[in-house]
Amino acid sequence: AALLRAARICSNVEDFDMERIRIDLSLLLNEYPPSFISKHFH
């Protein structure tokens, strides 16, 4: 859902890429394993 929201609100690819990085960092800081992030977001 977060990536879909980012795709809707970001006006260009660079903004979307930065938002995706923020989402990844947020998940890591909330102790989601990198394997979960890779499986669901890449």
Tell me: the pLDDT tens digits for 1-42?
888 888 888 889 999 999 999 999 999 999 999 999 999 876
Q: Which domain holds residue 7?
A: 2-41
Count of domains in the chain? 1
CA distance 37 to 8: 20
- C-alpha 42/C-alpha 39 separation (Å) is 6
Provide the pLDDT for residue 42.
67
What's this model's pTM, rounded to 2 decimal places?
Answer: 0.77
User: How many CB atoms sit inside 10 A of residue 2's CB?
Assistant: 13
